[in-house]
Structure 1
Amino acid sequence: MTVSTTIATTAASTAPTKGASLTGADAADQFNMFLKLLTTQMQNQDPLDPMDTSQYTQQLAQYSQIEQSIQQTGLLKDVLARMSSADMTDAAGLIGRTVEFDSKVAALSDGSAARWNWMLPQAPGSVTAEIRDSSGKLVATPTISATGTSGAYSWDGKLPDGSRAPAGAYVLKLTAKDNSGNALSPTTHSLGTVQEVVQRDGELWLGLGGAVSLPLSDLSRISATQG
């Protein structure tokens, strides 16, 4: 086997294959090896039978495309990282604010009650309420007096036996009927005071009361006042 054939075979083996995943270091190492092999082959080729450069031109084009792709991917990651940091900095301005979420989950902490706002399409004839913990266990059935289409409810965590529920996430479920006994569909939003901003899997979450975190995407209202 000639030097030219050996180098051509080895060079072909270093060429990137379709669908292959290369890091920047891998691509750089293979590209440098390819250039060394190509230079060596050109130096040792038969002047009466020069090498066919079409294959190497194609390989050079492939390496160039990979290099551009790696550079673009790195640039995109940098841009996303900067955007994420900027978003977190902006969201930090919510710390200490009272916010409302499009969620039935509210935070009960040692220092604050679990709070909700609710809305109905019309004034109800009756409303019953259930409060369940994060495991779905029924912990309280408070009495809610509803005379209009909207209202608010605050639960201090007091249980039927007089003890207090532990800090954590709690869900308020309302069942409403009109004066004819027809079911109404309530809309329930939770409220809380933001204590921290956390990033999880590229998404920002707001920590409430030290007990619950809800995604920023569920935010529906921000109070103009603190607390």
Structure 2
Amino acid sequence: MTTVNTTANTADTNTLLNQAAQSKNGVGADFNMFLKMLTVQMQNQDPLDPMDTSEYTKQLVQFSQVEQSMQQTGVLKDILSRVSGQDMAQASAFIGREARFDTNVSGLGASGAASWTLAPARTAGSMTVSVTDAAGKVVHQSTVDPSTSRFSWDGKLADGTRAPEGAYKLAVTAKDSAGAAVNVGINGVGIVKDVITDGTNVTLGIGGARMALTELVAVSAAA
């Protein structure tokens, strides 16, 4: 009579459980393999010493829970995909409009300027701005009117050439008449060129930068 090692098979099925929990695609295959192992063991068990099925019953329940979890994950992804699609449809209405984002990043395109709005916490007596590229290199620095609420950089570098398209960050240093630092809120601003989604997140094209829809704080007609 052929016998089956219950301990070894139990270890194997535990391994399968771990694999199933890690891979959605593996759930079906591992579950089928588990059932085959269980069937073989039941067919070859010693009638005088029948196997204890309690452990396999527990594992069947665990497999069922894993499978259900994976199915729920699939449903969740489908819901997120639908929501993303709705967000994209709504965001497409922003194309051609000026959008403002809760970030110090703005985009410089092949033409035009990169722009930001400035909101000092209180009256400032002096204000300097610096623009950095994606590598963190300062590409522009200047002093601006402390009463200004908007700064635009034309993309011109020190050597007279134009900076490449892309995302640029603005930093502002402001002080009041007594020399104390003044906090300045910064928002990236630009005309929305396009709307893109990866199935989960929606981004808006501003110049050479992609801005997250979740960071959008205001939309207005283009000036």
What residue is the counterpart of 1:222 in the other structure? 219
Where does structure 2 lack aligned partners over 5 or more consecutive residues? 21-25
Question: Normalising by structure 1, what TM-score?
Answer: 0.75
Larger radius of gyration: 1
Letter in 1 for 2:168: Y
The equivalent residue for 1:67 is 67
CA distance in structure 2 between the partners assigned to 1:99 and 1:59 by the alignment: 54
- Residue 6 of structure 1 aligns with an amino acid whose one-letter code is V
Report 1:111-126 matches (<5 A). Answer: 111-126=111-126
- Counterpart-to-counterpart distance in 1, 2:170 and 2:93: 28
Root-mean-square deviation (CA), in Å? 3.3
Q: Distance in 2 between matches of 1:85 and 1:52?
A: 51
Confirm or deny that 1:24 pairs with 2:22: no
Going from structure 1 to structure 2, the CA distance change for 1:188 and 1:55 (only over 3 Å counts) comes to closer
The corresponding residue for 1:36 is: 39
Bigger drift between 136-145 and 99-108 goes to 136-145
Are the counterparts in 1 of residues 85 and 199 from structure 2 also a CA contact under 8 Å? no
Which residue of structure 2 lines up, in the alignment, with residue 176 of structure 1? 174
Identity of aligned residues (%): 38
Report the CA distance between 1:21 and its aligned residue. Answer: 1.9
C-alpha separation in 1, matches of 2:187 and 2:35: 60
Deviation at 1:222, TM superposition (A): 1.7
Q: Matches of 1:125 and 1:88 in 2, distance apart?
A: 43
Deviation, 1:45, is 5.8
Q: Could you say which residue in structure 2 is the equivalent of 1:198?
A: 196
1:74-133 CA distance string (max 9 Å, x none):
333333333333333333333322111122222222232111110112222222233333
> Aligned to 1:179, what secondary structure does the other structure show?
coil
* Number of matched pairs: 218
| Structure 1: stretches of 5+ with no match in the other structure | none
More displaced stretch, 64-73 vs 104-113: 64-73
2:165 corresponds to which letter in structure 1? A
What residue number does 2:129 align with?
129
CA–CA distance in structure 2, aligned partners of residues 120 and 95 of structure 1: 29
What residue in structure 1 maps to residue 209 of structure 2? 212
Shift of residue 191, structure 1, vs aligned partner: 0.2
Change beyond 3 A, Cα 1:124–1:16: same
TM-score between both structures, scaled by the size of structure 2: 0.76
Superposed CA offset, 1:31-80 (max 9, x none): 44145325634xx763x766554344334334333333333333333333
Residue 6 of structure 1 aligns to a residue whose secondary structure is coil
Aligned 1:3-22 pairs, distance under 5 A:
3=2, 5-6=3-4, 12=10, 15-17=13-15, 20-22=18-20
Deviation of 1:20 (Å)? 0.8
1:13-38 C-alpha deviation (Å, 9 max, x unpaired): 55344861212232332244145325
1:133/1:139 contact within 8 Å kept: yes
Paired residues of 1:7 and 1:37 also in contact (CA < 8 A):
no
Distance 1:79 1:167 in 2: 35
Q: Do the aligned residues in 1 keep the contact of 2:117 with 2:187 (CA within 8 Å)?
A: yes
